[in-house]
Structure 1
Amino acid sequence: MEEHVSGYLPPMRSRGPEFRLRRLTHDPAGAGDGAISPDGARFVASSRRAGSLNLWFYELATDQWHQGTRGAGDDIEAQWSPDSSCLAFTSSRGGHKAVWLYRARDGRISQLTYADHEEEYPQWSPDGTQIAYAGGPWGHRHFYVVPAKGGRPRAVTRTPGRAGACSYLPDGLALVCHSYDTGAGAISVLPLNGSPPIEVTDGSAWDYKPSVSSAHPVVAFSRSFEGRSVIWVQRLDGTGTGRALVTEAADDRWPNWTADGQNLFFHRLVDRGVGIWVLDRRTGGVRQIVGADEQPRYGSLSPDGTRLVYAAEDSGRSVVKIRDLAGGPPRLLPLGEAAFPAWSPDGRSIAYLSRHAARPRWEIASYDFAEGVSRVWTRGMDWLKGMHGPLDWSPDGTRLVFKSDTEPFEADLCVLDVRTGEVHKLTEDPWWDEAPSWTPDGRGVVFMSTRGGDWTWGFYRKDLATGEITTLAGPDYVERNNPHLLPDGTLLCSLVASGAEELHEQQPDGLGRVLSAAGPSVRYPVPSRDGSLVVFARTYRTVEYWLAENVWAPGSPIAGLAGDFDRPLETGPGPAPWSMGPVRSPVDTRRR
């Protein structure tokens, strides 16, 4: 295998003149997944700038966008051919995801793959003759290679699994892939001659979307432990040596290199709270309680409706504060890093998510106002993973419901009994269940889930006495989030109805309406116990596109990785910062 590895990559090239990290542009309608052209002159990305999710091109010299593909269906994950004459991309315009081609000179598109299952993440071979991609039903997918001019695809994996994305090594003899077979995301080298794959990362983090530099034997990929992603660059010499490109509190994803391997392109997700408001459903009046300067994310009203507990951003961390609705300054609670606070029905405590600096996992915790004491409930329960998300008190204040990840793109609902400290599963199946809330009578739980199949979302209610699960809304491709059932039978949620996320009510008779007074970009609506008030956050969302130039020059955070590569590639990548098994996916489940 040593001679194979030495043949994967060409000799080192000279370093660039000066390292620079610069933001190229941003797109509030963007979906990310951009790719820089081989010459670095432009990039392609998916965007809803014209309504549908299509391919758009951005010219770096003129700072101008122009549209590529048009029409219905989602066009995503475009990648340039080595000569820039063509792009391969994923599209659902034929009914489900398949690989399509876009000819740059005239915009002509054609379908390349025709399987009856999903096919995605195309990537060109260095000579432009082949395209690799992942295909198959979820959990039973292969990596395939197909001639770029069309033909019969060939599976290059021996057994099916949870295949993700891949890219070619510069000599075209192997793929560097990510998969979810470890329970998280892991990177490996997959030789195309049938040899066994070689482990690059061990799956203790969520590693995905790898891209190999042509200048040095290193791979760049997105890495997340629980929450935001960073661009991680790691040597391919088996030592496991790697570094983050950017260490600030950002959410950076999907790196790819220019053809010379000197510049690294990526996108950054910006999702910033701009305020918290309260809507009075009786009068339709809306009042802002928290301003944009605190970057608030999530709020919960006290049972008497006089105070608000909320999560806000502080120096890249999430903290929890309390504010009187009548006015006055906020008070910071001594909880450390905390998120998703929920006021107990008796008003004497709050439940929240807590995270200690020494360990990345979020834990379920509570804080007693009278005693000024916090308690972490889930510490030591190692079978719970990825609990970051909304949680809710039962009406009698004895139980908390929350979600816990189980496998990649799967999560169960769990209930914590605060009288005993015991946790049991409420759902246990191969779906993604999240955002649970109790019904007003405490006899059931409402939640969102992919259990409709084909990665569609729906709202469901589980009856605790009978175990029966009934459908409340969907399932379909309409994006709806965070359901709450009100005492009058109304189903409250946020819903993307016209390009923006808005506050939505579904009446008991099934008729729905948008509460337009709340405005656009609504997130995390939480009703008062009697359903008369709704507290919600509003957010600013955009996708920024960045270019790290001359990354091997002095001053670059990763310049030290371009060192002596005489050591052979080994199978052990070295210890990870944490070893924690399955972790929370930072990837949208509909995109994987």
Structure 2
Amino acid sequence: MNLTKQWRRRDLGGLLAAATAGLAAGPALAQFRVEVTGVGLTQLPIAIAPFRGDADAPQKIAAIVQADLERSGQFRAIDGSGAALDETSRPDVSPWRQKGADSLVVGSTARLADGRYDVRFRLWDTVRAQSVAADGVMVVTADLRLAAHRIADMIYEKLTGEKGVFSTRIAYVTKAGNRFNLWVADSDGENAQSALASPEPIISPAWSANGQQLAYVSFESRKPVVYVHDVPTGRRRLIANFRGSNSAPAWSPDGRTLAVTLTRDGGSQLYTIPAAGGEPKRLTQSSSIDTEPLYSADGRTLYFVSDRGGAPQIYRMPANGGEPQRVTFTGNYNISPALSPDGKWLAYISRVGGAFKLQVMELASGNVQSVTDTVSDESPSFAPNGRQIIYATRQNGREALMTTTLDGKIKASLPGRSGDIREPDWGPFQR
């Protein structure tokens, strides 16, 4: 159960009884499948040769790097299989140019005497026949995937000029039998670690700006209560347990404040509360349902969902309260807002002819584009570089996580291996 279903039911009181619906069994550990759709894509052709030593390593570094780059939508993989190269080689770039590769990645994975792994790579510009980047790191076995993601980040930044997001993390929720789990995983969904297990529903995980804390809603008290979980230590603290419902936490960019939805004074209204806990400050004064708050990157504006116009739409107002302004006008049912870090794009879910579709709006122009072909999309969240969106949907009859580029051309799916996964939130760059 997430906020999309809250609005579908149009009954905030029904949130309690309905919260166990929509989540299915098992953490997902499957590799992303990259599905390229559309025409006219501008992608950088890159070949990634098998790393020397990969065959004997527990993680295949070259394959992880290639999957990362493909999933970003910025790269097109050229077959690099069969090449016997590493970071010390000076390759003949002519065959790679003939294959159409503008760049070539080579490297090695070597197990050291102390059990750690020495992972090295080199990036070649095949047009100029020059090495343009190289690095290496020694890691324990558990950090091999992280090493691969960081290599992909370095390649991405070198070739695009923007920061890669492959070493960032996502959070999501699963339900296995009667057990709910809040998971923290790599950006590709792998290496999932349980942050919290509970016999009661867990919903609405939200990362703090420093990537060290997760706010979420737990039903342990038989009603929605907001907690903050410290990811490195596993400790948590109670933030909001007022009369009625406490839900939809959203962090301010400075990490000092949470915006929440409370019913303590009657209807569903927006409040702010210190991140350390304390007395809430009421922001909205309406007879409507106001929920799903979201801060802009500069912390000055709060976006939220309200049915004050008769149906759910997205509004914005000053972060300290003030006169709301309506943002969405295309369609009569728009919920679950997510903002790109640069503030240029708004992602949200719109009901279109009975289907729930992920939409992307350019805020400056108001132009809206539907970017999916699925019909049960929920919970969008931007990557910290603003280039991709993660969201939940149904695919082949199962709940699944998907990533998409902003134009919808390139998608990657992460179906649960033994069940379904929901409620994604993409964490920030690590500081």
Q: Which residue of 1 aligns with 2:167?
A: 16
Find out whether 1:253 has 2:422 as its counterpart. yes
**Structure exhibiting the larger radius of gyration computed from Cα positions:** 1
CA distance in 2, matches of 1:234, 1:160: 22
What is the aligned partner in structure 1 of residue 246 from structure 2?
75
For residues 281 and 415 of structure 2, the distance between their equivalents in structure 1, rounded to whole angstroms, comes to 38
> Are residues 258 and 109 of structure 1, via their aligned partners in 2, closer, same or farther at CA, if it must alter by over 3 Å?
same
Q: Extract unaligned runs of 5+ from structure 2.
A: 1-73, 75-159, 169-185
Alpha-carbon distance, 1:218 to partner = 0.7
2:391 alignment counterpart: 221
Give structure 1 regions of 4+ aligned residues with deviation exceeding 6 angstroms. Answer: none
- One-letter amino acid matched to 2:167: G
Query: How far apart are the structure 2 equivalents of 1:227 and 1:91?
Result: 34
The TM-score, its normalising length taken from structure 2, stands at: 0.54
2:231 to 50, 53, 60: 60
**Distance change (3 Å), C-alpha of 1:174 and 1:209:** same
Q: 2:50 is matched with which residue?
A: none
- Identical aligned pairs, as a percentage? 24
Counting strand residues as a fraction of each chain, which structure ranks higher? 1
How far is the alpha carbon of 1:61 from its aligned partner? 2.7
Task: Output the amino acid matched with 2:273.
Answer: Y
Instruction: Please list, as runs of the form range in 1=range in 2, the aligned pairs for 1:432-511 lying within 5 A after superposition.
Output: none
Question: Residues 236 and 201 (structure 1 numbering): CA distance in 2 closer, same or farther, change over 3 Å?
Answer: same
SS at match of 1:229: strand
Using the alignment, how far apart are the partners of 2:300 and 2:347 within structure 1? Answer: 18
Residue 98 of structure 1: aligned partner: 269
Q: Secondary structure at the match of 2:418?
A: coil
The secondary structure found in structure 1 opposite 2:366 is coil
Match of 2:280 in 1: 109
Supply the distance in 2 between the matched residues of 1:71 and 1:14 (Cα, whole angstroms). 37
- Select which of 295, 316, 319 maps to 1:124: 295
Partner of 2:382: 212
CA displacement, residues 187-237 of structure 1 (integer Å, 9 cap, x when unaligned): 1112323422122124x3201110110235110001114754211111123
Letter in 1 for 2:315: Y
For the residue of structure 1 that corresponds to 2:360, the secondary structure is strand
Contact map agreement 1:217 1:237 (CA 8 A) in 2: no
Tell me if structure 2 keeps the 8 A contact 1:134–1:144: yes
Deviation of the 1:155 alpha carbon: 0.3
Q: What letter matches 2:260 in structure 1?
A: F
Q: Which of 350, 363, 371 in structure 2 is aligned with 1:200?
A: 371
Is 1:244 paired with 2:413? yes
Is the CA contact 2:350–2:357 (under 8 Å) kept in the aligned structure 1? yes
Tell me the distance in 2 between the aligned counterparts of 1:127 and 1:48.
32
What is the distance in 2 between the residues matched to 1:41 and 1:86? Answer: 15
- Answer whether contact 1:52 1:72 (CA < 8 A) is retained: no
Instruction: Give the whole-Å Cα distance in 2 for the aligned partners of 1:182 and 1:133.
Output: 23
**Which residue number corresponds to residue 133 of structure 1?**
304
1:87·1:103 contact (CA, 8 Å) conserved in 2? yes
Per the alignment, residue 46 of structure 1 pairs with 217
Secondary structure at the counterpart of residue 84 of structure 1: coil
CA distance in 2, matches of 1:145, 1:207: 23
Contact 2:270 2:282 in 1 (8 A): yes
2:349 corresponding residue in structure 1: 178
- Opposite residue 232 of structure 1, the aligned amino acid is M
Give the superposition deviation at 1:252. 1.3
What one-letter code is carried by the residue in structure 1 that aligns with 2:320? Answer: K
Matched, 1:30 2:181: no
The question of whether the paired residues in 2 share the 8 Å contact of 1:138 and 1:162 is answered with no
Report the secondary structure of 1:164's partner residue: strand
TM-superposed deviation, 1:127: 0.9
Deviation string 1:359-379 (CA, Å, 9 cap, x unpaired) is xxxxxxxxxxxxxxxxxxxxx
The number of residues matched between the two structures is 254
Q: Which amino acid aligns with 2:202?
A: A
Q: Structure 1: any 5+ residue segments left out of the alignment?
A: 1-5, 264-592
Distance of 1:49 and 1:247 partners within structure 2: 25
